[in-house]
Amino acid sequence: MIAVSTFYLTTPIYYVNSTPHIGHAYTTIAADILVRHHRQRGDDTFFLTGTDEHASKVFRVAEERGLDAKVFVDRIVEENWRPLAPLVGAEPDFFIRTTDDEHKAFVQDFVERLRANGHIYEGTYSGLYCVGHETFISEGELVDGKCPEHGTVPEFIEEQNWFFRLSSFQDALLRLYDERPDFVLPRFRSNEARSLIEAGLEDFSLSRQGQPWGVPIPWNPEQVTWVWVDALINYLSALTYAEPGEDLREEYWPHVRHLIGKDILRLHCVLWPALLLGAGYSVPTQIFVHGYLLLDDRKISKTLGNVIDPLDLIGVYGADAVRFWAARSVSFGQDGSVSLESLHERYERELGNDLGNLLSRTTAMLAKYRDGRVPVADSELAEQAFADLRDRVAGSLDVFDVTGGIDAIWEFVRSLNKYVTDSKPWELAKDEANAPKLDRVLFTLVDGLRAAAVALASYLPETAPSILDALGQPVDLAWDGVARGRAVAAEGIDAAAPLFPRVEAPATAA
């Protein structure tokens, strides 16, 4: 297990020209699970999310509606994007907006540094630009003259721009990938990034002309910084003003880890480290690239019109159930298909039966057989079972294996269910002579559920404390609580209300 003591994690910053769908919620949920877990381990954590607002589309749409672009984005951010994290039960430490004045000033300082270090020159750009991607696109990538992902005809652009000498970073980047095999995870993504670098890097235009929306190039304010450069810098700029009056760069930058989707691999794994090196900053500690959630085998996205609205799902199943489903349904890092049916099924079978019923049965037996007391006895589970749980969850999350972590917890939950079935407490209760054995069984269940709740707390932040509460246990989520025999005596336990009450199957499930 890697001993991490400072953990700074970022999500991509989301484009404001769309509304949040489950694909965006996915990255935020996974990031929150990881950060909460590190908090439980007592690490010094920082969790950043936010919005990417200088896309040229934004300005065009605002103009069409006769609105000032900033007024337009203010509304969208407050209505749609800032609420996303709390909606999915995530607790970021800071929400950055690229229209923040502090961020804009920092971007200017950053590109100034690039220029001072000799990495910028003036040139003419002529070529195609895909507004959907907010990147230049080559003829060879087009299908029937259109961007294959967005189905739109790219714009031809010819303008005088400022260029970044990406080509001169090829050797430095190859060295980085050689020296740090876990710089990009999973490994197949690292290979993908390395091949892009090996194939040769072209300088790119870091500015755009004739656009009033964006961060002006300091020495040539008629041009604005290309939106991707502006956006990537957020990970660093946020640390300079997230805490008023404090600069958190020294504390967190050396420990930064980025969580991204596979569509933005090149920008994060090739361009971003080069920009950082160029400006004199250290490169990130790690970049984890996750796959897509697919619906009907197609990426969930607004452009494709197969959006699943996280609001709808959470309204029905609750944030914890959606987090559980996102973490467990698709092996984190791979692409995987999801459906509303699979959410419903996991909700009933795993959350409702495996976990919810285990708590209901345990508390009902405490109420019935022990007048609501938790007896203190010896656990009948081996310490090894707890040690395995602790190490497997922490070990998985150390390598961003969000799915491996929840799978390990679920095996433990299922082993508790098997333990109830095998030890038949309802039979033991029939004969007073079995009282010490029944005490042990009840204690084993309380203690096992308690440890499971602590292990689950990063995945199910609402449910875990209510499990501890229902069992009369202190709500202490410290990671070392995932151990044998930590349950304490308690009184006044009532049969708990269902953790995951029945809900109607989704209409589309028919």
Q: Of residues 8, 9, 23, 103, which one binds ligand MSP by CB under 6 A?
A: 23
Which residues, numbered 293-322, are part of the site for ligand MSP (CB under 6 A)? 293, 299-301
The verdict on 15 binding ligand MSP (CB under 6 A) reads yes
Measured distance CA(276)–CA(287) in Å, rounded:
14
Is the bond preceding 154 in cis, omega lying within 30 degrees of 0? Answer: no
For residue 112, count CB atoms less than 10 angstroms from its CB and return exposed for 0-12, middle for 13-18, buried for 19 or more: middle
Return the number of the residue (40 or 285) whose C-beta is nearest ligand MSP. Answer: 285
Phi and psi at 27, nearest 5°, equal: -65, -45
Return the number of the residue (231 or 393) whose C-beta is nearest ligand MSP. Answer: 231
Query: Which among 10-18, 152-160, 206-214, 494-502 is the span making contact with ligand MSP, rule CB under 6 A?
Result: 10-18
Rounded to 10 degrees, what is the CA torsion of 255, 36, 231, 17?
170
Q: Are 170 and 191 in contact (CB under 8 A)?
A: no
Nearest to 455 by CA among 389, 503, 509, 399: 389
For residue 371, count CB atoms less than 10 angstroms from its CB and return exposed for 0-12, middle for 13-18, buried for 19 or more: exposed
| Three-state SS at 223 | strand
Return the number of the residue (98 or 473) whose C-beta is nearest ligand MSP. Answer: 98
CB of 198 to ligand MSP, least distance (A): 24
Q: Of residues 7, 8, 9, 24, which one binds ligand MSP by CB under 6 A?
A: 24
Return the number of the residue (231 or 438) whose C-beta is nearest ligand MSP. Answer: 231
Q: Are 103 and 234 in contact (CB under 8 A)?
A: yes
Cβ neighbors of 129 (< 8 A, separation 6 or more) are 135, 136, 137, 154, 155, 156, 157
Q: Are 187 and 225 in contact (CB under 8 A)?
A: no
Q: Are 443 and 378 in contact (CB under 8 A)?
A: yes
CB of 294 to ligand MSP, least distance (A): 7
Q: Of residues 30, 232, 358, 377, which one binds ligand MSP by CB under 6 A?
A: 232
Nearest to 2 by CA among 471, 395, 407: 395
CB of 457 to ligand MSP, least distance (A): 24
Return the number of the residue (32 or 447) whose C-beta is nearest ligand MSP. Answer: 32
- Number of residues in contact with ligand MSP under rule CB under 6 A: 20
Q: Count Cβ atoms below 10 Å from residue 349 Cβ, excluding itself.
A: 10
Return the number of the residue (110 or 443) whose C-beta is nearest ligand MSP. Answer: 110
The verdict on 8 binding ligand MSP (CB under 6 A) reads no
Phi and psi at 226, nearest 5°, equal: -55, 135
Q: Are 282 and 276 in contact (CB under 8 A)?
A: yes
Query: Which among 11-19, 210-218, 449-457, 461-469 is the span making contact with ligand MSP, rule CB under 6 A?
Result: 11-19
Cβ-proximal residue to ligand MSP, closest one = 261
Q: Of residues 9, 33, 49, 52, which one binds ligand MSP by CB under 6 A?
A: 52
Which residues, numbered 269-298, are part of the site for ligand MSP (CB under 6 A)? 292-293
The verdict on 256 binding ligand MSP (CB under 6 A) reads no
Return the number of the residue (34 or 264) whose C-beta is nearest ligand MSP. Answer: 264
Q: Of residues 7, 26, 164, 369, which one binds ligand MSP by CB under 6 A?
A: 26
Residue ranges in contact with ligand MSP by CB under 6 A = 12-15, 23-24, 26-27, 52, 231-232, 260-261, 263-264, 292-293, 299-301
